[in-house]
Chains A and B, each alone.
Chain A
């Protein structure tokens, strides 16, 4: 075997804290062969991004320091290199692409100019323009000549990531580091970008270090995988054996937690998590939520003298009903109007059409008249940290809905908050702490406790597990299922993740461009999708099984 392009040997990194150095990465070693794709997989805080920043020597100097180890690029140690020499390596021999292509491109510079700048910085000025155009062509962007003159905000997320890849590959780097390159993208776009990266790797002869939390992406891309946990590599193996016969317990748990599309095939509902018999809904009970012909129009910019630009229709003609104890999944890509629908049924955005909450029409109700209805329906947001007031203790946050609706005395509310904390699997002692002292999963439990405080019949869950690590995600979903079984809650479950939808829902509505394109029972929609778009969405979901990797094909954005 030839010498590795990049070798990381015993890399340890310390964080500077007031209490002295704390190890955040210990004894990380791996080697990257020419033309190989190595995936660093792990959950948040496992140290995978720190490793990549250390290779680029981009660690924030004030807080992190390389304590030991070497990073060899074709035998040359990068740790001791001068800043000047390192700048030539960055973008030259090693290039990097990031998660969020919008923030990594300069918003006030044309795409073409940014590419030309990157090419000139490393390869001189000759025919940079022509080469920039050739790079855009290479990443299969449509109409490359026109893209050269456009600004980043004029491109879609997928196109921006293609530009980032073009920029990274423009200097023919030996190593490309991709840090969660598709996490911010829709699933169909993600599939296109992954295909593109596989193809370009061959064309450019680049080795790739792919950092991801998504085992589905790992299965599609990796030749070899290094599984990281808490600053260590727990297991390194070729992709196929890692997925079929993982050696370490952590790898096994990680793989077990990955939702697999099709896992619930042949069933009508989500898995049972309690042994309690389900309460039967008496026939003739009105649905918890009934929506007919819902439309939401976002107002255009309004001029000073009443001139109104045409509004943008975010949701158009959406109808569905939701019964007690059932879950309706709204699935779709970004911009499909699924979140707006969720907000509209709670009366949080102005809408047209009919929304019956527990049989009562909420259209045109004053905030005061709306208030008693709010007790019936609550919401759980995507980012639990953002949806908790950082200046309010957790106990006060959970008691907040009770205080708003003037229920019970302060002591009653405290008791109720303690009881709710226990209900969602936290300790009542946690009531006096603040949101920043909890982990992501715990925060989402707190949000669930807060939503339960008013004993609602409906909970709108807007991407409620999207921000959580897979292992935590499974536990939060189980908690939601358990609450549904014991309390008879109805969920309007909004998600872009087909696998999560499959696990949680009884019924599914697929949204695109503000409309429902396909609706039905989850079993019908997932097993015999009627619409091409639904089939496309399902086909784009990465399958966590490297043996079923799709054949290379050329995709055009």
Chain B
């Protein structure tokens, strides 16, 4: 499909445009955080707390208020976009890639190799994610990349399961048999005739996974294995502040809204992509 008509198709869908705008805003925030943030994210300001030492609600000086250490919430959210975007895209993207690869190979090869791959997948499903994370973090120095790695290791299994079942049913279809009858090799069948059919699944899982990965990162950070304070991420802002939910609700509300908006935006764009990339939907009501 021509890039022009693809773009036009995308822009004709108002929900997709809204999603794109939100994603663009997050990307801009992540890229230009130092320019956009009004304060430094780890600056514990003297006037950031009330006289009793409580965080300040949103005001003209601090647009989204301050946190319990007197840091500007807006600045922390803007810098936190970097972490969250990285986790959401890199960790999740890696998970989908691994899952697709394992699932498709297992489904296409079948037999002993397929069974071995799927039993390994089952083993990983049964493995507690947090335990794995703690082990990895103990072995390696905790950092953002470790978090991304751990999340990818944990999240690929569901994708692999689904890719496996879909591949199994695709392999049985006549058009794959027709390809074999024409003399197509496994690389061509897998790359041109099976993978394209899994694209919708991959997109749905990829976008659905973003919200859960951002939250998983928060869990890991909370346990001290993930993003190290004072470096901000949307997840750890929520976790740091959850005990102040009643006295300072903005501390949970704004990062929560950011996570929700980003996840929703990815879902909307993902839906539009799925429809646009599917030629069998074209010309239908």
The smallest C-beta distance from B201 to any residue of chain A, in angstroms, reads 13
B188:A379 contact, CB within 8 angstroms = no
In A355-414, which residues have CB < 8 Å from any B CB? 367, 370-371, 374-375, 378-379, 381-383, 386-393, 400-401, 404-405
Q: Is A30 an interface residue (CB 8 A)?
A: no
Contact pick for B279, options A367, A382, A434, CB 8 Å: A434
What residues on A are CB-neighbors of B173 within 8 Å?
Answer: 386
Known: A17-B285, A434-B280. A379 touches B178 (CB 8 A): yes
What residues on A are CB-neighbors of B279 within 8 Å?
Answer: 390-393, 434
B174:A401 contact, CB within 8 angstroms = no
Contact pick for A374, options B182, B196, B284, CB 8 Å: B182
In B144-185, which residues have CB < 8 Å from any A CB? 173-175, 177-185
B183:A401 contact, CB within 8 angstroms = yes
A387 to B174, CA, bound (A): 5
Q: Is A429 an interface residue (CB 8 A)?
A: no
B175:A389 contact, CB within 8 angstroms = yes
A386 to B178, CA, bound (A): 10
The smallest C-beta distance from B4 to any residue of chain A, in angstroms, reads 16
A44 to B181, CA, bound (A): 30
A391:B278 contact, CB within 8 angstroms = yes
B181's nearest neighbour on chain A, judged by CB, is A379
Q: Is A525 an interface residue (CB 8 A)?
A: no
B183's nearest neighbour on chain A, judged by CB, is A374
A383:B280 contact, CB within 8 angstroms = no
A321 to B173, CA, bound (A): 29
A401 to B179, CA, bound (A): 8
Number of B residues with CB within 8 Å of any CB on chain A: 24
Contact pick for A375, options B178, B180, B183, B185, CB 8 Å: B183
B174:A386 contact, CB within 8 angstroms = yes
Give the interface centre of A374, A378, A382, A389 by most chain B CB atoms within 10 Å.
A389
Known: A391-B279, A437-B283. A348 touches B181 (CB 8 A): yes
Known: A391-B196, A391-B278, A436-B280. A367 touches B185 (CB 8 A): yes
A18:B285 contact, CB within 8 angstroms = yes
B282's nearest neighbour on chain A, judged by CB, is A434
The smallest C-beta distance from B149 to any residue of chain A, in angstroms, reads 33
A348 to B177, CA, bound (A): 8
Give the interface centre of A370, A383, A387, A454 by most chain B CB atoms within 10 Å.
A387
A375 to B183, CA, bound (A): 8
In B185-215, which residues have CB < 8 Å from any A CB? 185, 188, 192-193, 196-197
A383:B174 contact, CB within 8 angstroms = yes
B182:A400 contact, CB within 8 angstroms = yes
B182:A401 contact, CB within 8 angstroms = yes
Cross-chain pairs A/B with CB under 8 angstroms, 14 sampled: A348-B180, A348-B181, A375-B183, A378-B182, A383-B174, A387-B177, A387-B178, A390-B279, A391-B196, A392-B193, A400-B182, A405-B183, A436-B284, A450-B178
- Which 6 residue pairs spanning A and B have beta carbons closest together? A374-B183, A387-B174, A386-B174, A401-B182, A379-B181, A18-B285
- Other than the given A371-B183, A400-B179, 12 more pairs (CB < 8 A) read A17-B285, A367-B185, A381-B177, A383-B174, A386-B173, A387-B177, A391-B278, A401-B182, A404-B184, A404-B188, A405-B183, A447-B178
B: residues with CB less than 8 A from A are 173-175, 177-185, 188, 192-193, 196-197, 278-280, 282-285
